[in-house]
């Protein structure tokens, strides 16, 4: 690392935000598989886009098909998955975007790492608080069924832990409201 030096360029994040007409932010969704993270993130992005805001969604399944396709689901791989996503989100924040991430991100320590890397003022943690029983009933990808039958190991909420946020910036009950309503709750809590 001694041979690496941070390069400074003329166009800054502030310049990019001025051009976009809004500040960049990272909105970090967390919750169990099937909680509604991606669905609510999509509804939020649609509304922000309608308002003329520059956005991008980083979604767990999509990222694992590309940049993180080399990672499994062990605790160490989950940590590295979130670290990489936080680094990408930070770059996109520097580009002046409102970055919406939708990842289980099961460990508090990793979410804190993301918050620290991105910066407290730029990071909004959204907990999609949907009970495990409801997530299992939905089971849109059939993952809970596979986990319960022994075909899938390291399933968060089944044989791998999920540590609920202790002080999320926004909490929405993914099982009690439609995605558009949840997005409205999040928007009301944001300063963007």
Choose the catalytic residue: 105, 149, 160, 179: 105
Cβ-contact 86, 117 below 8 angstroms: yes
Angle at 125 between CA 43 and CA 83, to 5 degrees: 105
- Partners of 126 in the β-ladder: 29, 170
Handedness of CA 137, 126, 109, 65 (dihedral sign): positive
SS3 content of the chain, % helix, strand, coil (to 5): 45, 15, 40
| Token pair in block for residue 128 | 């999609």
- 10: annotated active-site residue: no
Which residues are known to be catalytic?
A: 105
């Amino acid at each position: 690392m001694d041979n690496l030096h941070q390069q400074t360029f003329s166009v800054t994040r502030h310049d990019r935000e001025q051009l976009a007409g809004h500040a960049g932010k990272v909105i970090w969704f967390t919750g169990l598989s099937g909680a509604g993270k991606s669905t609510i993130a999509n509804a939020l992005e649609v509304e922000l886009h309608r308002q003329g805001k520059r956005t991008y969604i980083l979604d767990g399944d999509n990222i694992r098909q590309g940049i993180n396709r080399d990672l499994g689901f062990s605790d160490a791989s989950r940590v590295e998955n979130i670290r990489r996503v936080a680094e990408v989100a930070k770059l996109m924040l520097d580009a002046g975007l409102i970055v919406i991430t939708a990842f289980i991100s099961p460990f508090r320590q990793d979410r804190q790492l993301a918050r620290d890397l991105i910066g407290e003022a730029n990071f909004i943690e959204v907990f999609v608080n949907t009970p495990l029983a409801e997530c299992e009933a939905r089971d849109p990808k059939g993952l809970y069924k596979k986990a319960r039958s022994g075909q899938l190991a390291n399933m968060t909420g089944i044989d791998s832990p999920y540590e609920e946020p202790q002080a999320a910036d926004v909490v929405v009950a993914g099982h009690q409201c439609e995605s558009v309503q949840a997005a409205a709750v999040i928007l009301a809590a944001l300063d963007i």
